[in-house]
Structure formats: C-alpha cells, structure tokens
C-alpha cells in the first residue's frame, strides 16, 4: 500500500499525465488511477477535485461542461500548453528522484 | 426500502455547510458519485451497498473543503476584481446621488475643499518655518556664544560676546575647528553714480566655510584678504544688474573722512528664503580698524555683535563651556563687575531661530512667532475641517431619508450591513477625493499666493516632495473616516421592513445632528468674535497715539555737526518749519542701551541723547518737572525720564532723584509722558533723555505746519542734494518710522476675517442644508397648516422652534469661551490692545444671529409662497 503522503505528492503529475493522453472527467480520471495502481494507492475519490480545481486556477488545465443527450453532463478537463510544460518539469524532477534512489539501492554493500 | 435519490441529496446537503464549494463543484461531485454507483451496480451490488461504497471511497468532505478553500485563498484576484467592480459601481452611485442633490453635494464639497485647502496652506507654512536655516551644512556643529548677566534682577541671556573672546577661544581650545566674529556698520557705498546707505558685515573668512552660502561668482577664500568684498546676489543686481562684478572696485565711505576701496571678489547665490542670518556686503573683520582707528580688538569691556564657533565632535561641547569659565573672571575684572557676567553659553545654530527670542541683542532673526503661528494655523485648519466634517455628517444623515428606498431594496436583495457601510464609505471617499483635488487647487492658487503676496515672501511649497503626498493621503483618510463612519454605521443599522413600510422616521429628531449643529454654532461664534476683535483692535491701534506728534515731524540723518548746522540754516528759511532740533539718537530710529546705577541697584534703560528743544520739536509731553533749558550747558547733568521709568524704579518723588552713568551723576528734572519709540507690539521701555553735545548730532528733526509734510520733505531733499551731492539723502516722515507695522496688523485682521468668513459660511451652509431638508421633509405638514389658516407666525414657529434653543445654548457656551480666547490671544499677540469689553463679543453674536435669521428666512419665504395644493399632492 502506498502511503497517503506519497499519494498526495504524486496526484499532480499523475493527473497531468492522464490528461496529456486526452481530455477526461473526474470520475474517469480516478478510475484510471485506481486501475493503473491496482488499488495500491491510498486515495479517496473526493481528494481529486480540489487538486483539479487548483490546477485549473493555476492555468495548467482547463475545463468545460459537455452535455450530450444519452449520458449525464460531464465536466471535461483538458491540459493546456502551460500544463504540458509543467509536466515536463515534473517528469524531470521525478526522474531525478528516481535516479538517486536507484543509485542508492543498486550499490553493493561495501566490502572493506 | 432504500431510496437512492434521497440518500444522494442528503449527502449533497453536507457540502453546503462548507462555503468552499460553489454550485458547479457540487454538481461535479454529484455526477461523480452517480457514475461510481452506476458502475458498482453494474458489477451486481445492491443500490444501498453501492451508495455506501461510493461515499466511503469518496472520503472525508471536511478535508476536501479545507483543500478547496486553500485553493481559493491562494488566488484572491477574482474576489478583488469583483470588489473593484463594486467600488466602481458605488462611485457611480455616488456621482448620481451628487447630481441629484446638487445643493447638499456642493455644501459638502465646498466645505471639505476649503478645509483641505487651509490644511495645505498650514502645511506649507509649517514646512517653511521648520526648514529655517536647515540648508546650512554644518548647522549642528556651529554654535553661537552667549553670555548671561543679571538685568533688573533677572538673569538675561545676551547674544553678543566680549571682543577678544573669539581669538582666545581659537588659541585655547584645539577642539574648536573654526571661529568667526561678526560686526555690522552703516556705511555709504559708491559705485559710479550709484550711492546708497548700506549695512556692511565685518567677519572672519571662516564665515563662508561655517555657513553654507555658495558663491555664484568668485572665490570664498578671498574674504581672508583685507581688501576684498563679497556681495549678496541682491546687492550685485542693485549695483551692477546682471553683469558679473567680480574684479571691479567699489568705494565704502565709513564717515566723512574715512573711506576705502574694495575689490569685489565674490557674489553669493540667491539666499534660501527661510533663513535667519544673511548679508549684503562681507568684508574682513580687520577692516574695523579702518573704520575706527581706536578700535581695540583686545578690549574686554567692549562687545562684538556675535561670535560663532564650529565644533565637529559634540562631546567637546561640555569641556568648552566649562573651559570658558576662566574668561568670566577676565571679563568681570575688566568691566569692574558692572553687569557682571554669570556664565557663558553655547547656542546651537540649528535651533537658534526657535530660541533666539529669549536672547537679547542677537543678530539673527527670530522665528518663534512663526512657531506660534503654526499652532494657530493648525487649530484653525483643524476647526474648519471639523466644521466641514460635521456638515457632511449632518447632511448625510438627513439626506439618507431621501435614499431610504434605495437602501431598502439593496438590503432586500441581499446587501449585508458591511456592504452598506462600504457603499457609504466609498461615497464619502469619492467626495473627499474630489474635495482634495479642489482643496489642493484652492490652497495652491488662492490661499498660499494670497498669504505670500500679503507678507511678500515665498514659502517654496512644491508638490514634488514626497512628504506632501503622505500628508494629503493622511488628510483624505482622516477626513473620510471622521465624516464618513458615523453616517455609514448609522444608516446601515436600519431595518429593511421598517424602511419599506415607510414607518421609519429619523433625521429630523436626531439628537446627534442637533449636537453637531450646536458645536458648529459655538465654533462659528468663536471665530466671528475673534475676527471682530482683531478688526476692532486694528482700528484701535491705528488711532492710538504714539505719545508725540508723529504726523508733524520730519527727520533727516546727518553725518556730523557741520552737516547739521548747514541743514539747520537751510531749513530755517522754510516758513513751514516751526522748529528744528538736533539729536544723536532719534525716537523710532536709534537709541542707546545704558546701565544706570542707583546706590543700591542697577537698571538697564533706553537712552536718547537729544538737543535742548527736541522735546518741543517732537511734541513730547512734560508731565511734571521741567524740560531742558535752551542754554544747554547748565543741563549737562540733567535728565528727563518717562513714566515707565518712574513706575519700574518705584520712585515716589522722581524729581530731584540722582543716579550715575559711568560714574557721572545725573539728576532727574522732569517726567515725560510715555511715548512709543517702536511699534505697539513692543512694550515701552524705561527711557531717559539727556542733552547731547552738538558734536554728536546724527539726526535733525523738524516740527512742521500740518499739511505741509510733503513740501517740507521735498525741500529738505533738494537742500541736501545741493549740500552733499556725494551722500545719499537719508530722511523720512516720522509717521513712517515703524515701517510696515500698520500693514502687518492690517494683515492680521485680514487673515482672521478670512478664517471667520470661512467658519461662518460653513456653519451657515450646514444650517441651510439642514433647514432645507427639514422643510422639504415636512412640506405636507406645512401645507396642511396653511390650508387650515396658519400665517407667517405659525410657519416661523414651526420651523424655528427647534433652532432657537440650540442657538441659545451655543451662544451661552460660545460667548464666554471666545471672551477668554480673545483675551488670551491679545495678551500674547499685542503689548497694547484695546480694552476688552463685552460689546466686542456682543457684536460677534449679532453678526452670527443676523446670518442665521437670513438663512432660515430663505426657507420660511419658500414655504410662505408655496402653493399648499402642490405640497399636499406630494406622494
């Protein structure tokens, strides 16, 4: 099980990454996260929305309500150019963290 | 049975507790929940279980709300945008309501802008006074040397110094960086055809290093050269126009026989306006020996006008003033303990202009009267500001009656109390800002130029300085809050229901409005009384006798006995000249300070050495005893004294009393009625008149036939030009001896009249606004009264009743207050003023009552000529 704190830290890059693959709405985004993590991320559905709203206010994503006849109205979120830029930065940072941990864990115990 | 819809709507309701979620967000989450439940049901779970799982997975709403709230707070731009939009809206409403009630708006705007204009003026004046002498780079290091001595039983500080002290200080104290002495002499300056009487300043070359007077042309160091002279810009323009005079020679005639040519080596830049020390001509101190061959620089019994020292390190001040104790002994030994010095002191130059009133015989101009003027001005500006704020409050409260519906509707559609307060404060700030612009314009184009024109100087006020804006901002905020907050809070308290029902009655009977009006009337009473008192007193002073025939006397300054005799012979031909007398001093022009010694005490008195018929020529009145005999030889040891002398010395029998001056004994032969040598702002000093030797004559005075002043003056002038074409004529009408004194007191009266006019206009405007609104609000009542047959008395009674008591109370408070204020201010401002009677106060009150009757009268007239049918048709 992935801890709450770590989950909270990752929601931003995860949401941006999901939206980069195509616009989506809240329920679908959460469903995707749950599927991909195999339910191992400790995640309450409600926590997603403040993050989405924050991202929208920061201008990284934008939203619009879509109404069609056969389904319920949905609030679709779409990544902006600024959002893509932010994702690249996030990606770099996560890769750096990853690289550090990788190095630390791959070093063999000292033989001296 | 489980009802899904009911459960969802119940779940949604829990969101509403938190204001963080707007409608869209709640809807978004509702859809989320529904999608989730649909999916779960599709997996084959019961509705109830699906709902519970979805809710559980959705998580804690409280935490969510907190996160959402943080998001909103982080970016407050949206809310602030809304607020600015609201302010814009409020400002528009303000403008509209201003347009709709032009009278009230004008009253408010006019009052506030005048008050702000006055404040700007007071600020400019204070700024000017506080900047006095502050342009000197070393103002904190330069000190004036003073000494204290016992005078008439009091310790008096003097600004002069014993002659050798400057040089001694330089030798004895290495802590002192620089020393300069100052001495002034009257000379005749000649350059080509320009010949003028001038005052020349003798000083050490350090003067221009210690005081910051940069030169426009030439070299400041040249002052060390005994043959150099440095001019002020004003003098340079007077003699040479725009030409650079450096290198030219100019002649200084010290007296008939002594003169010297100086080379101009420098011209100073224009001096800043706010200064207490300046110069026209500067020459080296050593030149004093050219003026007077016997001038002894080392004589401890003689004084120089001033000695300044510069000390870099303030820590040394104490050592120096302690070290100066030893000079006291030398000095007192030299003078034989006459007017013994009790201590020396150091007066910092930076604050000298504030303190120099307490120092006698100092060379700098004092600005302490300016400091008291600042206090007056601040009081006046503050009171006027208060008056205009009160007007604003009163009119705002009363005219809110007209806007009740607007308020009611605002409140109904959800305006909170805070909204209403903000709306009214916004209105107020908009008006105050308008007033600021107008007030600034008034101050800068009216008050300041008027004042500067009246006194003939420039205060150097400029908006370019940052502090001015801080001051203006403070004025706007303070004015806005004082005038705006009470109406805003008062009005916002109204209940919507009672407003819309029309059952709310207010404004008309508001006690606070009345109290405010009362305060205004009190202040107006005080201002009017002050102004009346000042104007009456100015007239009184204009008529007050000088104690002699100042209108029928002409004087001419003469350089020596020969000049006197030649002029006397020439003027004796003029049939309009009744008598001619010589003197070495002259009333209003020159006197000597002398120490007289009774066996048991010493006094400082003014001495006038005069010719034997001087008393008759000037028209001084002998009260008792006799005047000088025309055979002046026999009266060489006789003196006349004035009444103040007798009073101050507490002499029971003045005639025959003897005292000594410099060990010579004199006898009092007569008492002269008190006369004003200098203007009425100065107390008459104890004065003695004694017979002058003809060789010391410096003035010629003529008593002339009334109405021939101008002819005799012209004649004297032309006689002089024939006798002494080289020396400028220096004479005048005795009437003009006090210079611009009468203009000055006229100015005072003018200033106070302006203040009083503003105060009364504001009070009347406020009253007018209140009465007008009151009458408008009661138009139906008056119409019914008229229909039922009420005549003028009934209407007058209806309108005036509430104001009569108020006016009575205001006068009861205002009259005694103004009496004491006038008494206090007169005591401070004038040495002599008219006897203060209650008529002065009464006159002030009458002016006020007439103005009030006129104001209310306009409204009564309006009611009287109105058609009651129209009045009753009002909705």
Q: Are B416 and B480 in a shared domain?
A: yes
Q: B655 at the A interface (CB within 8 A)? A: no
Predicted confidence band of residue B853 (pLDDT cuts 50, 70, 90)? confident
Q: What is the mean pLDDT of residues A58-82?
A: 85
Q: Is B426 exposed, middle or buried (0-12, 13-18, 19+ CB in 10 A)?
A: buried
Say which residues have a Cβ less than 8 Å from residue B146's Cβ, sequence separation at least 6: B157, B158, B159, B161, B344, B345, B346, B347, B359, B362
Backbone CA torsion sign across B314, B315, B321, B326: negative
What percent of chain B shows pLDDT beyond 70?
94
Interface test with A, best of B38, B62, B67 (most A CBs within 10 A): B67
**Does B395 reside within a domain?**
yes
Compare B216 and B761 and report the one with higher pLDDT: B216
How close is the nearest chain B Cα to the Cα of A103, in Å? 35
Residue B645, token pair as written in the block:
């002398």
Q: A32 at the B interface (CB within 8 A)? A: no
Nearest 10 degrees: CA dihedral of B87, B92, B97, B103? 100
Integer Cα distance of B838 and B811 in angstroms:
13
Q: B57 at the A interface (CB within 8 A)? A: yes
Predicted pLDDT at B228: 92
Predicted pLDDT at A11: 86
Integer Cα distance of B202 and B530 in angstroms:
46
Q: Residue B491, Cα to own-chain centre: how many angstroms?
A: 39
**Does B284 reside within a domain?**
yes
pLDDT tens for B129-140 read: 888 888 888 888
Predicted pLDDT at B82: 52
pLDDT over 80 (residue B205): yes
Say which residues have a Cβ less than 8 Å from residue B195's Cβ, sequence separation at least 6: B188, B189, B726, B727, B728
CB pairs under 8 A between A and B: 61
Name the average pLDDT for chain B.
Answer: 82
Whether B670 contacts B625, CB under 8 Å: yes
Number of domains in chain B: 4
Q: What is the mean pLDDT of residues B13-36?
A: 81
Quick one: which of B731, B726, B745 has its CA closest to B681?
Answer: B745
Chain B positions in Cβ-Cβ contact with residue A57 (cut-off 8 Å): 71, 74-75
Nearest Cβ partner for B34 among A47, A57, A72: A72
Q: Are B455 and B533 in a shared domain?
A: yes
Quick one: which of B37, B297, B28, B50 has its CA closest to B181?
Answer: B297
pLDDT over 70 (residue B831): yes
Which residue is closest to B35 within chain A, CA to CA?
A27
What angle in degrees, to the nearest 10, is found between the helix axes of B23-42 and A26-37? 50
Q: Are B358 and B374 in a shared domain?
A: no
Q: Are B420 and B433 in a shared domain?
A: yes
Q: Inter-chain contact A45–B57, Cβ cutoff 8 Å?
A: yes
**Does B124 reside within a domain?**
no
Q: What is the mean pLDDT of residues B612-628?
A: 86
pLDDT over 60 (residue B872): yes
- Between the CA of residue B792 and those of A55, B408, B768, B798, B868, what are the distances in Å? 76, 37, 19, 10, 14
**Does B137 reside within a domain?**
no
Nearest Cβ partner for B32 among A45, A50, A54: A45
Chain B positions in Cβ-Cβ contact with residue A27 (cut-off 8 Å): 31-32, 35-36
Q: Inter-chain contact A27–B25, Cβ cutoff 8 Å?
A: no
**Does B305 reside within a domain?**
yes
Q: Which of B671, B701, B726 is the last residue of a domain?
A: B726
Integer Cα distance of B174 and B319 in angstroms:
11
- Between the CA of residue B257 and those of B290, B296, B559, B585, B724, what are the distances in Å? 11, 20, 11, 21, 14
Predicted pLDDT at B783: 82
The ipTM is 0.85
Q: Inter-chain contact B60–A44, Cβ cutoff 8 Å?
A: yes
Query: Which one-letter DSSP state was computed for residue B651?
Result: -
Q: A39 at the B interface (CB within 8 A)? A: no
Quick one: which of A16, A23, A12, A30 has its CA closest to A63?
Answer: A23
Q: A22 at the B interface (CB within 8 A)? A: no
Lowest-pLDDT range of B61-70, B160-169, B531-540, B565-574:
B61-70
Q: Are B338 and B393 in a shared domain?
A: no
Please give the residue range of the domain that contains residue B29. Answer: 4-75
Compare B747 and A22 and report the one with higher pLDDT: A22
Q: Which helix (H) or strand (E) holds B733?
A: strand B731-733
Q: Inter-chain contact B58–A74, Cβ cutoff 8 Å?
A: no
Other CB atoms within 10 Å distance of the CB of residue B774? 18
Q: Which neighbouring-strand residues pair with A66? A: A74
Which residue is closest to B40 within chain A, CA to CA?
A31
How close is the nearest chain B Cα to the Cα of A79, in Å? 18
Q: Are B282 and B346 in a shared domain?
A: yes
Other CB atoms within 10 Å distance of the CB of residue B650? 6
Instruction: Report angle CA A38, A42, A47 to the nearest 5 degrees.
Output: 115
φ and ψ at residue B26, rounded to 5 degrees: -65, -40
pLDDT over 60 (residue B458): yes
Interface test with B, best of A53, A57, A60, A74 (most B CBs within 10 A): A53
Q: What is the mean pLDDT of residues B766-791?
A: 78
Backbone CA torsion sign across A20, A22, A26, A31: negative
Q: Which of B692, B726, B760 is the last residue of a domain?
A: B726
Which residues in chain B (62-81) have CB-CB distances under 8 A to chain A? 63-64, 67-68, 70-71, 74-75
Question: What residue ranges define each of the domains in chain A, with the CATH number in brackets?
Answer: 4-106 (1.10.10.10)
- Between the CA of residue B694 and those of B619, B639, B698, B729, what are the distances in Å? 21, 17, 9, 20
**Does B136 reside within a domain?**
no
Q: What is the mean pLDDT of residues B186-202?
A: 87
Q: Are B156 and B198 in a shared domain?
A: yes
Q: B135 at the A interface (CB within 8 A)? A: no
Hey, which of A28-42, B265-279, B358-372, B517-531 has the most confident mean pLDDT? Answer: B265-279
pLDDT over 50 (residue A112): no
Quick one: which of A14, A89, A72 has its CA closest to B28?
Answer: A72
Q: Are B522 and B428 in a shared domain?
A: yes
Predicted pLDDT at B264: 92
**Does B133 reside within a domain?**
no
Q: A35 at the B interface (CB within 8 A)? A: no
Which residue is closest to A76 within chain B, CA to CA?
B28
Q: Are B844 and B720 in a shared domain?
A: no
pLDDT tens for B323-382 read: 888 888 887 887 776 667 888 888 888 888 877 777 777 777 666 677 778 888 888 888
Q: Are B314 and B413 in a shared domain?
A: no
How close is the nearest chain A Cα to the Cα of B414, in Å? 28
Integer Cα distance of B638 and B689 in angstroms:
9
User: How far separated are the first and last CA of chain A, in Å rounded?
Assistant: 36
Residue B477, token pair as written in the block:
């905020």
Say which residues have a Cβ less than 8 Å from residue B511's Cβ, sequence separation at least 6: none
Compare B702 and B422 and report the one with higher pLDDT: B702
Q: Which of B75, B93, B114 is the last residue of a domain?
A: B75
Nearest 10 degrees: CA dihedral of B835, B838, B843, B846? 170
Q: Inter-chain contact B57–A73, Cβ cutoff 8 Å?
A: no
Q: Are B688 and B791 in a shared domain?
A: no
pLDDT tens for B223-272 read: 889 999 999 998 999 889 888 999 999 999 888 788 899 999 999 998 88
Predicted pLDDT at A108: 61
pLDDT over 60 (residue B863): yes
Q: What is the mean pLDDT of residues B650-676?
A: 86
pLDDT tens for B479-491 read: 888 887 877 777 7
Q: Is B416 exposed, middle or buried (0-12, 13-18, 19+ CB in 10 A)?
A: exposed
**Does B703 reside within a domain?**
yes
Q: Inter-chain contact A44–B59, Cβ cutoff 8 Å?
A: yes
Q: Inter-chain contact A44–B31, Cβ cutoff 8 Å?
A: no
Q: A45 at the B interface (CB within 8 A)? A: yes
Q: Are B601 and B529 in a shared domain?
A: no
Q: B52 at the A interface (CB within 8 A)? A: no
Q: Inter-chain contact B68–A72, Cβ cutoff 8 Å?
A: no
Radius of gyration of chain B, Cα coordinates, nearest whole angstrom? 40
């Amino acid at each position: 099980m992935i801890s709450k704190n770590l989950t909270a830290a990752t929601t931003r890059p995860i949401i941006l990454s999901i939206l980069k693959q195509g616009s989506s709405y809240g329920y679908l985004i959460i469903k995707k996260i749950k599927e991909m993590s195999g339910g191992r991320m400790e995640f309450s559905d409600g926590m997603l929305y403040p993050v989405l709203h924050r991202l929208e206010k920061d201008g990284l994503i934008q939203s619009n309500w879509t109404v069609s006849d056969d389904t319920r109205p949905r609030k679709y979120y779409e990544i902006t150019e600024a959002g893509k830029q932010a994702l690249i930065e996030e990606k770099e940072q996560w890769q750096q963290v990853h690289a550090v941990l990788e190095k630390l864990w791959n070093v063999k115990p000292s033989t001296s | 049975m489980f009802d899904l819809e009911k459960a969802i709507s119940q779940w949604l309701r829990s969101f509403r507790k938190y204001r963080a979620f707007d409608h869209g967000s709640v809807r978004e989450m509702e859809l989320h929940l529904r999608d989730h439940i649909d999916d779960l049901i599709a997996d084959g779970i019961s509705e109830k279980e699906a709902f519970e799982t979805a809710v559980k997975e959705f998580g804690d709403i409280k935490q969510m709300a907190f996160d959402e709230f943080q998001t909103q707070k982080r970016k407050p731009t949206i809310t602030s945008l809304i607020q600015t939009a609201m302010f814009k809206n409020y400002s528009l409403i303000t403008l509209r309501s201003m347009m709709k009630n032009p009278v009230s708006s004008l009253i408010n705007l006019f009052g506030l802008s005048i008050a702000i204009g006055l404040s700007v003026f007071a600020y400019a004046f204070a700024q000017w006074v506080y900047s006095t002498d502050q342009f000197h780079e070393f103002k904190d290091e330069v000190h004036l040397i003073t000494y204290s001595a016992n005078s008439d039983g009091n310790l008096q500080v003097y600004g002069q110094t014993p002659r050798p002290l400057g040089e001694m200080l330089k030798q004895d104290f290495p802590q002192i960086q620089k020393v300069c002495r100052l001495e002034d002499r009257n000379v005749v300056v000649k350059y080509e055809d320009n010949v003028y009487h001038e005052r020349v300043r003798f000083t050490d070359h350090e003067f221009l290093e210690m005081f910051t007077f940069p030169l426009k042309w030439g070299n400041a160091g040249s002052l060390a050269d005994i043959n150099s002279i440095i001019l002020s810009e004003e003098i340079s323009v007077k003699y040479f126009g725009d030409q650079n005079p450096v290198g030219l020679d100019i002649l200084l005639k010290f007296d008939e026989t002594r003169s010297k040519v100086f080379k101009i080596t420098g011209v100073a830049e224009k001096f800043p306006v706010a200064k207490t020390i300046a110069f026209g001509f500067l020459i080296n101190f050593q030149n004093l020996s050219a003026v007077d061959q016997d001038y002894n620089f080392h004589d401890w019994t003689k004084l120089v006008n001033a000695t300044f020292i510069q000390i870099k390190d303030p820590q040394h001040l104490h050592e120096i003033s302690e070290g100066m104790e030893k000079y006291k002994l030398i000095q007192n030994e030299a003078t034989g303990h006459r007017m013994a010095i009790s201590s020396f002191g150091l007066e910092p130059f930076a604050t000298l202009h504030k303190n120099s009133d307490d120092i006698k015989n100092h060379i700098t101009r004092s600005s302490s009267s300016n400091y008291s003027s600042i206090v007056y001005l601040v009081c006046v500006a503050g009171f006027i500001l208060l008056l205009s704020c009160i007007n604003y409050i009163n009119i705002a409260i009363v005219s809110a009656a007209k806007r009740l519906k607007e308020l009611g509707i605002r409140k109904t559609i959800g305006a909170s109390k805070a909204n209403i307060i903000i709306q009214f404060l916004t209105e107020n700030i908009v008006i105050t800002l308008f007033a600021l612009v107008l007030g600034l314009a008034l101050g800068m184009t009216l008050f300041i130029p008027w004042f500067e024109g009246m006194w003939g100087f420039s205060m150097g006020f400029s908006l370019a300085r940052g502090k001015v804006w801080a001051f203006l901002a403070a004025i706007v905020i303070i004015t806005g809050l004082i005038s705006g907050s009470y109406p805003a809070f008062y009005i916002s308290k109204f209940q919507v229901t009672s407003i819309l029902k029309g059952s709310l009655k207010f404004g008309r009977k508001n006690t606070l409005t009345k109290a405010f009006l009362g305060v205004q009337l009190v202040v107006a009473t005080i201002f009017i009384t002050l102004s009346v008192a000042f104007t009456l007193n100015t007239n009184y002073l204009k008529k007050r006798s000088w104690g002699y025939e100042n209108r029928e006397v002409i004087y001419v300054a003469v350089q020596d006995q020969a000049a006197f005799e030649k002029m006397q012979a020439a003027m004796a031909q003029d049939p309009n000249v009744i008598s001619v007398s010589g003197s070495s001093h002259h009333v209003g022009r020159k006197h000597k300070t002398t120490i007289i010694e009774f066996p048991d005490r010493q006094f400082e008195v003014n001495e006038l050495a005069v010719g034997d018929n001087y008393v008759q020529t000037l028209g001084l009145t002998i009260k008792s005893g006799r005047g000088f005999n025309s055979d002046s030889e026999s009266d060489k040891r006789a003196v006349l004294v004035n009444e103040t002398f007798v009073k101050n010395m507490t002499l029971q029998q003045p005639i025959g009393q003897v005292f000594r001056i410099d060990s010579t004994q004199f006898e009092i032969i007569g008492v002269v009625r008190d006369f004003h040598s200098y203007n009425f702002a100065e107390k008459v000093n104890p004065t003695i008149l004694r017979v002058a030797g003809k060789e010391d004559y410096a003035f010629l005075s003529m008593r002339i036939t009334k109405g021939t002043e101008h002819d005799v003056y012209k004649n004297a002038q032309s006689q002089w030009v024939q006798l002494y074409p080289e020396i400028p004529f220096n004479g005048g009408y005795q009437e003009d001896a006090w210079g611009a004194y009468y203009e000055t007191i006229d100015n005072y009266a003018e200033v106070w009249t302006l203040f009083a006019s503003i105060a009364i206009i504001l009070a009347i405007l406020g009253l007018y606004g209140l009465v007008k609104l009151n009458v408008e609000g009661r138009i139906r009542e008056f119409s019914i009264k008229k229909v039922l047959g009420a005549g003028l008395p009934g209407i007058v009674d209806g309108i005036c009743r509430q104001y009569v008591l108020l006016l009575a109370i205001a006068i009861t408070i205002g009259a005694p207050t103004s009496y004491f204020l006038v008494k206090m201010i007169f005591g401070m401002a004038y040495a002599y003023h008219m006897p203060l009677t209650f008529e002065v106060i009464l006159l002030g009150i009458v002016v006020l009552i007439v103005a009030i009757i006129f104001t209310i009268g306009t409204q009564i007239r309006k009611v009287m000529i109105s058609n009651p049918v129209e009045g009753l048709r009002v909705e």
